[in-house]
Amino acid sequence: MEMIEMPKNFLWGCASAAYQVEGAYQEDGKGLTNWDQFVRIKDKTFKDTTGDVAVDHYHRYKEDIALMAELGLKTYRFSVSWARIFPEGRGAVNEKGLQFYENLVDECLKYGIEPMVTLYHWDIPAALDTAYGGWEDRQIVDDYAAYAKCLFKRLGRKVKYWITFNEQNIFTTFGWLLAAHPPGKFDAQKMFYQVNHHVNMAHAKAVLAFKQIVPDGKIGASFAFSPSYAFDCDPKNVIAKINFDEMNSFWWMDIYAYGRYPAFTWNYLDKKGLVPEMEADDKTILLAAAAKLDFMGINYYQSIVCEYNPLHGGVDPYGTMNTAGKKGTTEIKGVPGLYKNPPNPYLMTTDWDWTIDASGLRYACREVTSRYHLPIVISENGLGAFDILEDGKIHDGYRIDYLREHVLALEEAVQDGCDIISYCVWSFTDLLSWLNGYQKRYGLVYVDREEPEGSSMNRYKKDSFYWYKKVISSNGKHL
Ligand code: GCO
């Protein structure tokens, strides 16, 4: 394929999340979060690593943003920790928390870097869990909306790109079905769907408020989208694929884009008594918010294979994901009667067993474009690896290969007609991998940091940093 120049004003970016980079977990009036508590339960994370200090972005944001400017970054996507703004989750605002994010935004703007703010990247104020069970209770909807409004009012003049939720599918699945993230519940299916409905309502109310407060801004949600392949052309496997798509992708993306739940999944859950309870005007609110969605955010890491899964297959309904710190544990996941997910024999995997499939990124963009007709922000894409620091250098050619293939796929998607406005590499600096500590590195910038204690925290530019700099300065022509 011929390398193309990306659209004018294309937002080449990098992303991070508050808990994974900031540290300063008890500073300047911040309240504790679910993650501050969860990581203290023994054996939940690799070597019981915490984000107490993380990579100290809270104190080093100026140094980090100066490096972003050196890279030529057009946008920096970061998340706000709700508990810095409302230490109790609601009620009194903590001015120091707001000021921190305003400073971060100003620092980006100083270098012409467009800030892109995620309102929720998995850290809920612990006080709300204590008060009423957090996402399990309907009260969360209004508390989230109040938090969102507070940020829109304070930062809306300066920040034009907003993301309501990061990977709703992941934090709810890991939290209520797999017990791998807080609140650590296993197979709480009924609650899982109710929680998702609360998140959907919180998202919808935030979108509607946003359009009042920041009429010239753009808002979307970031979904961890794994496009799927049928194992082969056996019609049973093709039906397994469409079952998977509805249960695992459209169940969420349809709500953002259409404001309604997909029919197959709704019927399937209804028969099992698992559909969420809804209030009278929920449908109207969801529809109104969907009509105002500006873009679909896609976090793309891997594709998935779907195969028929007979009810008597004896497969664990959800399987287990990579255990903390463990390398290479492909498990066959699935839902008996609907589908199972075997490995893809054509593709390689990362050190953490994530399938590497650049074409899947093109596929994801095409699917979103033809199903939803929305602009797309690739809000995350990147490679987690064991990087080695040698004489101040990190030769991460494997990451360059990975990113090059994915950017090529992105350019193909643009040529296919997809309206892609941004691509964010996950991540700018190395950061805390929720379950895998600091050994799983994603950054373009290496941080001298190991578990359990921080070491020098010095930053070193990896080879991939210099590569991405050329990509950005040529607007995607030099890969
Ligand atoms: C990890 C994950 C994360 C996610 C990100 C999702 O290893 O912890 O890869 O870094 O990609 O937080 O939005």
Strands 459-461 vs 445-447: parallel, antiparallel or unpaired: antiparallel
Q: Give me the number of domains the chain comprises.
A: 1
Q: Does the CB atom of residue 302 touch ligand 1 within 6 A? A: no
Location of structure tokens 């691509």: 423
Domain membership flag for residue 304: yes
Best residue among 16, 20, 21, 225 to mutate for probing ligand 1, ranked by most atoms within 8 Å of CB = 20
Q: Among 97, 96, 113, which Cα is nearest to 161's?
A: 113
Q: Which contacts (CB < 8 Å, 24+ apart) does range 134-143 have?
A: 134/34, 134/183, 135/172, 135/175, 135/195, 135/198, 135/199, 136/191, 136/194, 136/195, 136/198, 137/198, 138/198, 138/201, 138/279, 140/198, 140/202, 141/198, 141/201, 141/202, 141/205, 142/205, 143/89, 143/90
Q: How many CB atoms lie under 10 A from the CB of residue 305?
A: 24
Q: Does the CB atom of residue 430 touch ligand 1 within 6 A? A: no
For position 342, which CATH number holds? 3.20.20.80
Please report, as a single letter, which amino acid is at residue 245. Answer: D
Please report, as a single letter, which amino acid is at residue 171. Answer: F
- Ligand 1: distance of its center to the CA of 434 in Å? 7
Q: Does the CB atom of residue 18 touch ligand 1 within 6 A? A: no
Q: Which of 101-115, 300-314, 464-478 has the lowest mean pLDDT?
A: 300-314
The answer to whether 37 touches 182, Cβ cutoff 8 Å, is yes
Task: Please say if 411 is a catalytic residue.
Answer: no
Domain membership flag for residue 163: yes
Q: Which of 138-142, 151-155, 163-167, 331-335 has the lowest mean pLDDT?
A: 331-335
Q: Does the CB atom of residue 433 touch ligand 1 within 6 A? A: yes
pLDDT of residue 333: 77
Percent of the chain whose pLDDT exceeds 90: 90
Q: Does the CB atom of residue 381 touch ligand 1 within 6 A? A: no
Instruction: Write the residue with the smallest CA distance to atom 4 of ligand 1.
Output: 433
Average pLDDT of the residues of the chain: 93
Collapsing DSSP to helix, strand or coil, 69 comes out as helix
**Ligand 1 atom nearest to CA at 382:** 11
- CA-atom Rg of the chain in angstroms: 21
- Residue 112's domain comprises 11-473
Best residue among 434, 435, 447, 451 to mutate for probing ligand 1, ranked by most atoms within 8 Å of CB = 434
What is the ipTM, given to two decimal places?
0.96
Rounded to an integer, the average pLDDT of 253-275 is 96
Please provide residue 170's backbone torsions phi and psi, each rounded to the nearest 5 degrees. Answer: -75, -50
Q: Give the whole-angstrom CA distance, residue 225 versus residue 414.
A: 18
Tens digits of per-residue pLDDT, 204-256? Answer: 999 999 999 999 999 999 999 999 999 999 999 999 999 999 999 999 999 99
Residue 221 Cα to chain centre, angstroms: 9
Tens digits of per-residue pLDDT, 186-201? Answer: 989 999 999 999 999 9
- Please pick, among 107, 246, 307, 380, the residue that the annotation labels catalytic: 380
Q: Does the CB atom of residue 380 touch ligand 1 within 6 A? A: yes
Domain membership flag for residue 479: no
Domain membership flag for residue 158: yes
Domain membership flag for residue 146: yes
Domain membership flag for residue 4: no
**Ligand 1 atom nearest to CA at 222:** 13
Positive/negative CA dihedral, 321, 323, 328, 332: negative
Q: Does the CB atom of residue 383 touch ligand 1 within 6 A? A: no
Residue 326: pLDDT band (50, 70, 90) is very low
Q: Does the CB atom of residue 167 touch ligand 1 within 6 A? A: yes
According to DSSP, residue 48 is labeled G
Domain membership flag for residue 243: yes
Burial class of 4 by CB neighbour count within 10 A (0 to 12, 13 to 18, 19+): middle
Domain membership flag for residue 478: no
Instruction: Write the residue with the smallest CA distance to atom 2 of ligand 1.
Output: 433
Alpha-carbon separation of residue 50 from 176, 280, 366 (angstroms): 21, 42, 38
Instruction: Write the residue with the smallest CA distance to atom 12 of ligand 1.
Output: 17
Q: Answer whether residue 321 shows pLDDT above 80.
A: no
